[in-house]
Amino acid sequence: MTLEIRKCTHDDIPLLQTIGIETFSDTFADQNTPEDLQAYLDKAYAFPQMEKELVTDGSTFFFVYADEHLAGYMKVNTDEALTEDNGTDSLEIERIYVRPGFKRKGIGRYLLEHAIGLAQQAGKRNIWLGVWEHNAPARAFYKTMGFERTGEHAFYMGADKQIDHIMTKIL
Protein backbone atom coordinates (compact mmCIF):
# COMPACT_ATOMS: atom_id res chain seq x y z
CA MET A 1 0.00 0.00 0.00
CA THR A 2 1.33 3.42 -0.98
CA LEU A 3 0.69 6.16 1.59
CA GLU A 4 0.83 9.87 0.86
CA ILE A 5 0.23 12.88 3.10
CA ARG A 6 -1.04 16.17 1.70
CA LYS A 7 -1.53 19.49 3.46
CA CYS A 8 -5.13 20.70 3.30
CA THR A 9 -6.18 23.99 1.71
CA HIS A 10 -9.28 26.17 1.92
CA ASP A 11 -10.79 24.24 -1.00
CA ASP A 12 -10.62 21.08 1.12
CA ILE A 13 -12.99 22.33 3.83
CA PRO A 14 -16.08 20.44 2.54
CA LEU A 15 -14.07 17.22 2.39
CA LEU A 16 -12.62 17.91 5.85
CA GLN A 17 -16.16 18.31 7.15
CA THR A 18 -17.24 15.03 5.57
CA ILE A 19 -14.30 12.95 6.77
CA GLY A 20 -14.35 14.63 10.18
CA ILE A 21 -18.00 13.81 10.77
CA GLU A 22 -17.57 10.28 9.38
CA THR A 23 -14.53 9.35 11.46
CA PHE A 24 -15.65 11.06 14.67
CA SER A 25 -19.07 9.38 14.46
CA ASP A 26 -17.50 6.00 13.71
CA THR A 27 -15.24 6.35 16.74
CA PHE A 28 -17.67 7.72 19.32
CA ALA A 29 -21.33 7.24 18.27
CA ASP A 30 -21.84 4.00 20.17
CA GLN A 31 -20.56 5.52 23.44
CA ASN A 32 -22.49 8.80 23.46
CA THR A 33 -26.09 9.90 23.16
CA PRO A 34 -27.23 10.87 19.66
CA GLU A 35 -28.09 14.36 20.97
CA ASP A 36 -24.65 15.01 22.48
CA LEU A 37 -22.87 13.61 19.43
CA GLN A 38 -24.93 15.73 17.03
CA ALA A 39 -24.43 18.88 19.11
CA TYR A 40 -20.67 18.34 18.99
CA LEU A 41 -20.62 17.58 15.25
CA ASP A 42 -22.76 20.64 14.46
CA LYS A 43 -20.36 22.90 16.34
CA ALA A 44 -16.96 21.36 15.57
CA TYR A 45 -17.48 20.63 11.87
CA ALA A 46 -19.52 23.67 10.80
CA PHE A 47 -17.97 25.38 7.76
CA PRO A 48 -17.17 28.65 9.59
CA GLN A 49 -15.47 26.74 12.42
CA MET A 50 -13.42 24.60 10.05
CA GLU A 51 -12.46 27.67 8.03
CA LYS A 52 -11.36 29.50 11.19
CA GLU A 53 -9.23 26.54 12.28
CA LEU A 54 -7.69 26.12 8.84
CA VAL A 55 -6.49 29.73 8.62
CA THR A 56 -5.24 29.98 12.21
CA ASP A 57 -1.47 30.55 12.39
CA GLY A 58 0.20 27.45 13.80
CA SER A 59 -2.68 25.12 12.87
CA THR A 60 -2.35 22.69 9.97
CA PHE A 61 -4.61 19.95 8.59
CA PHE A 62 -3.35 16.99 6.58
CA PHE A 63 -5.09 14.31 4.55
CA VAL A 64 -3.56 10.85 4.25
CA TYR A 65 -4.19 8.80 1.14
CA ALA A 66 -3.74 5.03 0.80
CA ASP A 67 -3.32 4.00 -2.83
CA GLU A 68 -4.89 7.35 -3.79
CA HIS A 69 -7.97 6.77 -1.58
CA LEU A 70 -8.64 9.24 1.23
CA ALA A 71 -7.91 7.21 4.36
CA GLY A 72 -7.82 9.74 7.19
CA TYR A 73 -6.77 13.15 8.40
CA MET A 74 -4.84 14.90 11.12
CA LYS A 75 -4.72 18.38 12.64
CA VAL A 76 -1.62 19.66 14.41
CA ASN A 77 -1.10 22.86 16.38
CA THR A 78 1.95 24.83 17.47
CA ASP A 79 2.60 28.09 19.26
CA GLU A 80 -0.52 30.34 19.42
CA ALA A 81 -2.76 27.58 18.06
CA LEU A 82 -2.14 25.18 20.98
CA THR A 83 -5.41 24.37 22.75
CA GLU A 84 -3.58 24.27 26.10
CA ASP A 85 -0.55 26.15 27.36
CA ASN A 86 2.02 23.38 27.20
CA GLY A 87 4.79 25.74 26.16
CA THR A 88 6.03 26.85 22.78
CA ASP A 89 8.44 23.91 22.68
CA SER A 90 5.57 21.50 21.98
CA LEU A 91 3.44 20.34 19.06
CA GLU A 92 -0.14 19.23 19.68
CA ILE A 93 -1.99 16.61 17.69
CA GLU A 94 -5.53 17.92 18.10
CA ARG A 95 -7.17 15.42 15.76
CA ILE A 96 -5.98 12.19 14.20
CA TYR A 97 -8.59 9.93 12.62
CA VAL A 98 -8.59 7.04 10.17
CA ARG A 99 -11.63 6.02 8.13
CA PRO A 100 -13.26 2.70 9.11
CA GLY A 101 -12.13 0.72 6.07
CA PHE A 102 -8.50 1.76 6.60
CA LYS A 103 -8.02 1.02 10.30
CA ARG A 104 -5.34 -1.42 11.49
CA LYS A 105 -3.26 -0.93 8.35
CA GLY A 106 -0.52 1.30 9.78
CA ILE A 107 -2.12 4.56 8.65
CA GLY A 108 -2.53 6.01 12.15
CA ARG A 109 1.12 5.18 12.86
CA TYR A 110 2.11 6.84 9.56
CA LEU A 111 0.23 10.03 10.50
CA LEU A 112 1.70 10.00 13.99
CA GLU A 113 5.23 9.54 12.65
CA HIS A 114 4.62 12.46 10.28
CA ALA A 115 3.59 14.64 13.23
CA ILE A 116 6.68 13.59 15.17
CA GLY A 117 8.81 14.52 12.16
CA LEU A 118 7.13 17.93 11.95
CA ALA A 119 7.80 18.52 15.64
CA GLN A 120 11.45 17.54 15.28
CA GLN A 121 11.91 19.74 12.19
CA ALA A 122 10.44 22.67 14.11
CA GLY A 123 12.79 22.07 17.05
CA LYS A 124 9.99 21.12 19.44
CA ARG A 125 10.91 19.16 22.56
CA ASN A 126 7.68 17.23 22.93
CA ILE A 127 4.50 16.22 21.18
CA TRP A 128 1.19 15.77 22.98
CA LEU A 129 -2.48 15.00 22.48
CA GLY A 130 -5.70 14.47 24.38
CA VAL A 131 -7.41 11.08 24.24
CA TRP A 132 -10.73 10.14 25.85
CA GLU A 133 -10.26 8.17 29.06
CA HIS A 134 -12.64 5.48 27.71
CA ASN A 135 -10.83 5.07 24.38
CA ALA A 136 -8.61 2.20 25.52
CA PRO A 137 -7.44 1.15 22.03
CA ALA A 138 -6.16 4.66 21.26
CA ARG A 139 -4.50 5.04 24.67
CA ALA A 140 -2.74 1.69 24.18
CA PHE A 141 -1.61 2.68 20.69
CA TYR A 142 -0.14 5.97 21.88
CA LYS A 143 1.63 4.18 24.72
CA THR A 144 3.31 1.82 22.22
CA MET A 145 4.44 4.92 20.33
CA GLY A 146 6.22 6.26 23.42
CA PHE A 147 3.54 8.56 24.84
CA GLU A 148 2.93 8.73 28.59
CA ARG A 149 -0.01 10.19 30.49
CA THR A 150 0.96 13.61 31.82
CA GLY A 151 -2.38 15.10 32.81
CA GLU A 152 -6.02 15.45 31.88
CA HIS A 153 -8.51 18.02 30.68
CA ALA A 154 -12.24 18.35 30.18
CA PHE A 155 -13.77 17.73 26.77
CA TYR A 156 -17.42 18.53 26.08
CA MET A 157 -19.39 16.17 23.88
CA GLY A 158 -22.46 18.34 23.57
CA ALA A 159 -23.60 18.83 27.17
CA ASP A 160 -21.65 15.81 28.45
CA LYS A 161 -18.42 16.72 30.25
CA GLN A 162 -15.86 14.01 29.55
CA ILE A 163 -12.24 13.56 30.60
CA ASP A 164 -9.37 13.31 28.15
CA HIS A 165 -5.98 12.01 29.21
CA ILE A 166 -3.16 14.24 28.03
CA MET A 167 -0.42 12.01 26.67
CA THR A 168 3.03 13.37 25.88
CA LYS A 169 6.09 12.04 24.09
CA ILE A 170 9.45 13.67 24.79
CA LEU A 171 11.46 14.04 21.59
Among candidate residues 40, 110, 142, 156, the one labeled active-site is 142
Q: What CA–CA distance (Å, rounded) separates 38 from 49?
A: 15
Respond yes or no: is residue 142 known to be catalytic. Answer: yes
Cα 97 to Cα 16, 80, 111, 125: the distances in Å are 11, 23, 9, 24
158 with 39: CB under 8 angstroms? yes
| H or E stretch covering 98 | strand 90-98
Q: Is 130 helix (H, G, I), strand (E, B) or coil?
A: strand
Active-site amino acid positions = 142
